[in-house]
Amino acid sequence: MIRPMTTTTFSYIRRLMIPGVMAGMAWMAASAAIAAAPFEDSMAQRTLACTACHGPQGRAAPDGYYPRLAGKPAGYLYNQLLNFREGRRHYGLMTQLIDPLSDAYLLEIAQYFSSLEVPYPAPPPSTASADVLRRGRQLVTEGDAARKLPACVQCHGQAMTGVAPHIPGLLGLPRDYLNAQLGAWKAGQRRAHAPDCMQDVVSRLSLEDINAVASWAAAQPLPADTHPATSLPAVAPGSEAVRCGSAPLPARGTVEPKAKK
């Protein structure tokens, strides 16, 4: 169900105080886009505040700071919205924007962006050395058994386009964004529902490992089929399945109240 954008919704959007010059400029662009758009009563219009930062149709901002939303698994997008609202991820703009919204409406937003079919741009050429890229490829595709590090493909899919409904793809993301997110996991600034598998895995990575993984993944072209896989790949011999926590989806047809903090 798509709910109409009310005067109250516009009002709280305009009242948000956004720290930082980048966020302030993005919010001015979002406000201008909302004010200029003719009323359509559509999810596309109500997510203009999202696409002002994340790019048209959620295809990612050109600066590489705001990641792609289009085509990501709906469960993953929903889980991240909850993580921002409930303090497991930290960015004031996101938290204030989604704080008044119910779980069910956040799921509608996630499902909308997940359904968008938007082409990926070609990856930029890598500036990393051959040794760094070789190390990154090894960690992503094979892992490191000596340190009990699973390969990234074990969870994110052999094609690295993610696995529905909860695991995102790693291709099509800028190196700086991947570095920042992996660094946030390592520093404890990004968390997830228990069991927090990413925190456990990233804690065993060195900063050099993180840079290698991000550099290699960011340089890879997208496959012809960019959709998330529908099931996890088979666990490699000698490896253990990785258990990760995620937020349960709201029951279909229900409107859940905002979680209390």
Q: Encode pLDDT of 170-229 as tens digits.
A: 999 999 999 999 999 999 999 999 999 999 999 999 999 999 999 999 999 999 999 999
CA 31 to chain centre: 23
Which residue spans within the chain are E strands per DSSP?
A: 162-163, 167-168
For 228-258, how does the pLDDT look when each residue is reduced to its tens digit (9 = 90+)? Answer: 999 999 987 878 899 998 888 777 655 444 4
Q: Which pLDDT score is estimated for 17?
A: 33
Start-to-end C-alpha separation, the chain: 26
CATH 1.10.760.10 fits 122-249, yes or no: yes
| Domain 122-249 in the same topology as domain 7-114 | yes
Domain boundaries, the chain: 7-114, 122-249
Residue 11 has pLDDT above 50, yes or no: no
Which tens digits make up the pLDDT trace of 66-104?
A: 999 999 999 999 999 999 999 999 999 999 999 999 999
Give the mean pLDDT of the chain: 86
Alpha carbon 189 to chain centroid, angstroms: 15
- Give whole-number Cα distances, 72 to 75, 116, 158, 177, in Å: 9, 9, 16, 16
Task: Please say whether the beta carbons of 220 and 141 come within 8 A.
Answer: no
Domain boundaries 7-114, corresponding CATH code:
1.10.760.10
CB under 8 A, 24+ apart: contacts of 13-18: 13/49, 13/97, 16/93, 16/96, 16/97, 17/96, 18/92, 18/93, 18/96
pLDDT of residue 23 exceeding 80? no
Binding-site residues from annotation: 50, 53-54, 94, 152, 155-156, 198
Peptide bond into 124 cis (omega under 30): no
Q: What local confidence, expressed as pLDDT, does residue 237 receive?
A: 80
Q: How is residue 76 written in tokens?
A: 């993953």
Q: Answer whether residue 18 shows pLDDT above 80.
A: no
Residue ranges for the known binding site for heme c are: 50, 53-54, 94, 152, 155-156, 198
- Residues 39-58 have pLDDT tens digits of 677 999 999 999 999 999 99
